[in-house]
Structure 1
Amino acid sequence: MSILNISAYRFVSLDDLPALRERMLAQCHALDVKGTILLAPEGINLFLAGPREAVDGFMSWLGDDPRFAGMQGKESWSEHVPFKRMRVRLKKEIITLRHPTIRPEGGRAPAVDAATLKRWLDQGRDDEGRDVVLLDTRNAYETDAGMFAQAIDYRIASFTELPSVLAADQSRYAGKTVVSYCTGGIRCEKFALYMQDIGMQRVFQLEGGILKYFEEAGGAHWQGDCFVFDERGAVDKDLNPALLQPLPPQTGEEEMPA
């Protein structure tokens, strides 16, 4: 497979969005890279596809801006570019939660890496002996493709629904270690901060999301595939295209594998 797919994000304050959009769009067109980049005052979220040299060229160019230096992406491969065009969109949030007091650029919630989460799931508890609860922060059509065994899936239609459904079920998590997860890390990072904000204890985010977990832990304890927001439909535990299915109707809130 010759097409590199890369997803990456960073929560960082941005105040030159229209000019930044034009520069990024021009650079992507020059390199013939396709995909989607979301820009908002709180940061950047991107998913791009093209030959290795083209994608690396864009990420190198992007890293010349100190705000994006050192961004690490999750990589996977496909036979064809799974996007029809290149879009750079301006939004109010790069992942819509509608809780403006949650500002990840001001500090992250604690994170757990893939190896640590796998060990916790293998032994049935965390390193301090607490029960571990996995919270899937994705939408129902994503969890239908696959999810961690025994994870809590609230069957939401939009990320913005999650705070209210969690509030009605908060007692479930008392005394337990909670790990939020999502496709690439952006949703679980933001929602881990929300859980801390409402007073929940022992909250972690899965570092790099499902895609990084597949890369580093081989998909242990995972059932099915991982939905992605492009024409591949999903990837399997080896990060290869798994399903070729049409995307669901877009809400305008989430168009990225995050």
Structure 2
Amino acid sequence: MSNTTPVTVAALYQFTSFADPAALREPLLALCEEVGTCGTLLLAREGINGTIAGSDNAVSAVLAHIRTLPGCADLEVKYSHADTMPFARMKVRLKREIVTMGQPDVDPRASVGRYVDPHDWNDLILDPDTIVIDTRNDYEVMTGQFKGAVDPATESFRDFPAWFRSHREELLEGKKKVAMYCTGGIRCEKSTSFLRQEGIEDVFHLKGGILKYLETVPEDESLWEGECFVFDERVTVKHGLEQGEYSLCRACRRPITDEEMASPDYVEGVSCPYCIGEKTEEQRARYAERQRQRELAKQRAGKNRS
């Protein structure tokens, strides 16, 4: 896990049964705060999901604690690194689902698709008998995608089941296999389980998600085009999990390029070319005040460090 960059980033999830997730929250949050990690962890009856960042030792301490929780001994973690802390604070939240699909009968612990190692993924998605589906949301797909993948153009993962049901016939026409992928693998646990419930047997998903693929598959062999959106201050990562080139519009949370930031429609923290027509004057005024407070907080933090 060691690296020359100062911040270790660990993405994790585990579907397991927590009888009382609320009882797990305080000890976990206390440890995270004690060792100095930042990020977000979600706890629900179906398990744990999230990303934390900190020093090697801090991250190791938190992961060791998580592995003592019921069903988490074999927790798999995807590591990357950052030059600066990519999160502002540490949050441990209680949720109904650790990834929200809104399908109560879907249980990845009972049935999921077949995992495909990143090194075998290219062969699968190049097979003409395979339909490849990106299970991420529209703003994530904006920065990159696997060559030839279908983009559902969903605003939320909750929309995925209805989208699939309405397009099922055209998607599966002439295809024998369904290959699905997402950022770190967790959404595919539910999406492949959902397809199995819909009666589709030959369902596959990329083990470890895009992050594991970009980490392990050489760029000259890769079928990934673009960068991968991540849910922290890095915004996107590239092959080798190096930080990408995108920034973030803090009004609509969409990734934006340097060219889009040069647009007259871009005002930091207030608007960008994508959301300028979506927000009201009242909303933009509220965003402007929020941005002003953010800048004041940065100034105060700078003075405290000097």
Report the TM-score, using the length of structure 1 for normalisation: 0.90
1:164 corresponds to which residue? Answer: 162
Asked if structure 2 preserves the Cα contact closer than 8 Å seen for 1:231 and 1:247, the reply is no
- Aligned partner (choices 38, 44, 51) of residue 47 of structure 1: 51
Q: Distance in 1 between matches of 2:139 and 2:251?
A: 8
Shift of residue 176 of structure 1?
2.4
Q: RMSD value over aligned CA atoms?
A: 1.5
8 A contact 1:110–1:205 mirrored in 2: yes
| Superposition deviation, residue 247 in structure 1 | 5.5
Taking the aligned partners of 2:39 and 2:80, their CA distance within structure 1 comes to 14
Q: More deviation in 201-210 or 166-175?
A: 166-175
1:239 aligned to 2:238?
Answer: no
CA distance in 2, matches of 1:146, 1:248: 21
Shift of 1:246: 4.0
Distance 1:209 1:247 in 2: 26
Which whole-Å CA distance do the structure 1 matches of 2:189 and 2:137 have between them? 16
Match of 1:143 in 2: 141
Q: Which stretches of structure 1, 4 residues or longer, exceed 6 Å deviation after superposition? A: none
How many angstroms apart in 1 are the aligned matches of 2:192 and 2:137? 16
Task: Describe the SS at the equivalent of 1:142.
Answer: helix
Query: Residue 85 of structure 2: SS of its match in structure 1?
Result: coil
The corresponding residue for 2:279 is none
Q: Give percent identity, aligned residues only.
A: 37
Q: 1:216 & 1:26 partners in 2: Cα distance?
A: 34
Counterpart among 57, 60, 67 of residue 63 in structure 1: 67
Which one of the candidate residues 202, 221, 229 is aligned to 2:231? 229
Q: Give how far 1:140 is off.
A: 0.5
Separation in 1, partners of 2:85, 2:158: 30
Q: Deviations over 1:190-243 (max 9, x none)?
A: 100101111123111111110111122235111100000011101111101113
Q: Tell me, what secondary structure is at the counterpart of 2:213?
A: helix
- Change over 3 Å in CA distance of 1:94–1:66 after alignment to 2: closer
Higher Cα radius of gyration: 2
Higher mean displacement: 5-14 or 213-222: 213-222
* Cα pair distance change 1:4/1:248, threshold 3 Å: farther
TM-score, normalised relative to structure 2: 0.76
Quote the Cα distance in structure 2 between the aligned partners of 1:208 and 1:248.
30
Which sits farther off after the overlay, 40-49 or 173-182? 173-182
Hey, what does 1:212 align to over in structure 2?
212
CA offsets, 1:73-94, max 9 Å, x none? 1111110111000000101000
1:165 maps to a residue whose letter is: W
Counterpart position of 2:203: 203
Distance in 1 (CA, whole Å) between partners of 2:56 and 2:85 is: 12
Tell whether the 8 Å contact from 1:229 to 1:247 is kept in structure 2 after alignment.
no
Alpha-carbon separation, structure 1, partners of 2:168 and 2:250:
32
- Once the two structures are superposed, the pairs formed by residues 1-258 of structure 1 within 5 Å of their partners are 1-121=5-125, 124-125=126-127, 131-171=129-169, 172-174=171-173, 175-218=175-218, 220-242=222-244, 243-246=246-249, 249=252
SS in 1 for 2:109: helix
* Greater helix content: 2
Q: Which ranges in structure 1 are unaligned for 5 or more consecutive residues?
A: 251-258
Contact 1:10–1:43 (CA under 8 A) maintained in structure 2? yes
1:120, distance to aligned residue in structure 2 (A): 3.0
CA contact (8 A) 2:37 2:54 kept: yes
Q: Which has the higher contact order (CA 8 A, sep 6+)?
A: 1
How many corresponding residue pairs? 244
